[in-house]
Structure 1
Amino acid sequence: MDLSAFHFLRPWCLLGVALAIALWVAGRAQRGAAGRDSGIAPELLPYLTLHTAGSRGPRPLDLAALLLALGSVAAAGPAWQRDEPDFLDNVAPLVVAVDLSRTMEATDVPPSRLEAAKRTVRDLAARRAGAKTGLIVYAGGSHLVLPPTDDQDLLDLFVQALSTDLIDRDGRDVAGAIDLASQVLAAERAGGTLLLMTDGAPAPDPVRERAQAARNLQILIMAVGGGEAQGGMDVPALRELARAADAPLGSLTATPDDLDWITLHAQQHFESVQDAAAGPPRWKDAGYWLCWPLALLALLALRRGWRVTWQACLVAGVFAFAAPQEVRAGRLADAFLTPDQQGRLAFERGDFSAAAGHFHDPYWKGRAAYAAGDYAAALAAFSRLASPEAYFYIGNTQVRQHRYDAALAAYDRALALKPGWQPAVVNRGIVTRLLAAMSQEQQGDQSEPPDRTVADKTAQAGQLAQVRVQQAASEDIWLRNLSLSPARFLRGKFAVQDAGERP
């Protein structure tokens, strides 16, 4: 409990405490005056007074005053913790820009600087499960590989394909990477962070201009390398780059400290932007905790004779707290929460399997099953709906099950109901390009003649793709091609973009 932040949300309600004290003092004074006005000598009065049941212990006036005072404190709203939604935890959007210059092949950081950076990106995505992470690469030009996504498998697929030969142009286009990050993070409408993983730096002036123009964008720089001795790592240039971009500068150590440093900066920046957009901070009202003593006092006030039976209260308390926790929680949940509400609580805790078992709503049941990896259950739940969101997740589920033709059909249905919907457009484009790259890989790499030719109309209209009849062999070739195709796809895409930028 942070006592320095303790305050009352509605302090005027504390006037009830003063009123309770005044009523209690007045009642006690009136009771004393009644005894004095009886005409009996004060020293004899205790011996002549008959004590009936209920005449000892707390009086109705005492309990009423205590109820009023405690209720006033509860109504005043004691608070000491910020009221921040649970979904703000670990959801700061992040874009990682990886330098693909030739110097990233240096081996002073084993096995190489680039491989160490790729491993850090994968570990970072795993640490930030549920948050969106995007990927940019740059050398002489900068290119968007993947917009921010919470799909770790898809991100890992493209991270594995990164190599220094994907971009032909030499240089370090940090300014272009900042522009790209600003564009993709603008769609998130939240405080985003750009992480530059590099071993060198360009001239600082263009970077300074782009960094100042980027609104709500935080830049972090992670130096990858062991020093100036190998690979031409320029530490002074990196420091100058950090000053120009007004960015913290860290050094890759290949330990969990790297991930802590990145996630802490990203989350703090995200929360500061959210706080600025939301206005004055909101606080958690802790007054409801006083409802339990208020209920106990009200229960005592209803007892005959106003006598407090402490033994009975003690026995009741022992039985209440000795009951098995899981049984008591289940009964309370069933009594006060609907199955969908219980499912939502389990979903927010990250217990997706339990959430899928609770949910009755098909959409959320499918979401929970999808997050739990039960793609058959997710597909069955989403198939009961005909909304764009349902078709979108049907497409994602089909991708997970390697049914890319069905995924494209589902994305098409989603876009037919919601034209131009960006998530469906992006995912459909990724699947389409992967299928095209896989088809080209098969046509170029297969040394044996195919047993038959099948027209794959879903990937590219009118293009023929060669597939093997034997299912096991075909899936093995397909999986190997899937790991190779992203690199070929990225290399061709970057070459076309760089050619288009040249005058």
Structure 2
Amino acid sequence: MDLSTLVSQFHFIRPYWLLLCLPFAVLLWLYIRRNPELKVQKTSLPEHIEAALKVGDAGWLKRLPVTFWAMGFCIAIIIAAGPSWQRQASPFGEDKAPLIIMLDVSESMLQTDLQPSRLQRAKQKIADLLALRDGGRTALIVYAGSAHIAMPLTKDKAVFLPLLDAISPKLMPRKGKFAEYGLIEIDKLLINGDINAGAASVLWVTDGLGSDSKSQIIDYFNQANKGASALVTNTDRKPSLQLIILGSGNSDVSAEIEFQHDELSGLASEVGGYYQSITVNNSDMVNVNRQIARNMIINSDSAEPWQDMSYPLVFVLVAIFLMWFRKGWTLQWCVVATIMVLSAPQPVLASTGIYQTIAASNVVFTVAVEAAPSRVDSIQQRLLDTWYDAWLTREQQGHMYFSKGQYAKAAAKFTDPLWKATAFYMAEDFSKAHIYFMRSDSAASLFGAANALTQQREYIAARQLYQQVLQQYPSYTSAQVNLQKLQKIIDDINRQSESQANTENEASKELGDAPQTSDGAEEKVSAEMLVQQTYTAEQLLADDALTQAWMKRVEGDPGRFLATKFNLQLNQRQKSPTK
């Protein structure tokens, strides 16, 4: 539980026990008054003479037993009062808190700073979370350049997990990284799932933000928690939406596409949500599951009893009174505790993490300049970066390096996706430039992404992107000019492909992950080969062999099903933007 929630809900179940503090304070004052040796008496004698004239224990050693007795009595009063800050879940209740998972399946999620990849690890964590959730409906939204509901709210894990396993960037009909498009799908689930009251949680699994994602997500969740969601209407009470961000990435390992840990954590704080990084063990999903249950309990109308949180203090109280088992043990235990604290080994994780971060940044710098810097140059660069960090923001440093023509350094400093993509493009790192260009849905970003694909000889994909730019922005003349030039290149390759269609070196074939540079030679298939057989229900039920043959023709790959579904949805939205 976060500190703000703890402070707002902290109270005592039995507060009248705190009245015992008044008579206890009076008795303690009387006891000290009747024992003058417990008072701090100041004399005008020098310290060495005063120490020689005193007989027996004096000072703080004499007052130590009384201090511990006072502490023990105060702890006992607190235990009797019953401090509490959270409700106790009913053993007969069922976790009915709905969960909407919004999964980022853009190309950056294929980075391998988390093994085997960010996306694969995220899907493993989602499966772990489903195993921890006892009841409750779960939905899945996937997004890249468009957002789609892959699974509506359901309790059936047997259906959910195969679809989750089939999710990949190849299924998405449009490239990009627009989490804000998933907000409309969340509203659809809130309406169709009949979540009109109570609490719902949104688990957003991603490695970074798009250009406009942050502002729109902040506005959406702030309005939703104020009961001002525009699409959820005709209800007396709006659902309370909690945003949980699961950062899928590793900041300590270098990656081509950086993991935006700080930006995601800051976004969660701005909307009053919760941020959790992926861990090696299952503690991350335990924390996420606890946050989901906590949100349900806080916003629930049921009267669950407040949980008495004073039980751990009982062990502290017992430990204090055990010190009086023998005479003098109070002092001995204090000495032992002090020695243990002072002799504890100091953690070295912080310095190790800093060293790994610096080493990772040096690797990136080495690749950018294609030369290994000397030890002196590396130290100078670190000192220079520290000086810049003290006076300039990352954006200002990026513009400074960009103006000097040091585009690789500028790309490492920029946080704005458009500027970052432009710097990568100028540094001739076109694959990264394309990924960051696709994090914005503006004309300039789509045009830049098409140019980056052209530089990688991905002519077919670039042509589709140019056509998309012209479809959305017909007056964009630069895209029209580039499209005409690109079409000439594709036509030339097509003619060469047709002339070699019957040879083994056919240029139109797509070999693995090689760029698709042309449409390829058209294959002519006879009409007889395209005849499809149809059967009636009576024929299928009457013949078992015919039934088995028909079942083999049924598509069983959930990935193909999702890809077809997403393409149809995107085409429908483009034809009817209001839907």
TM normalised by structure 1 equals 0.44
TM normalised by structure 2 equals 0.39
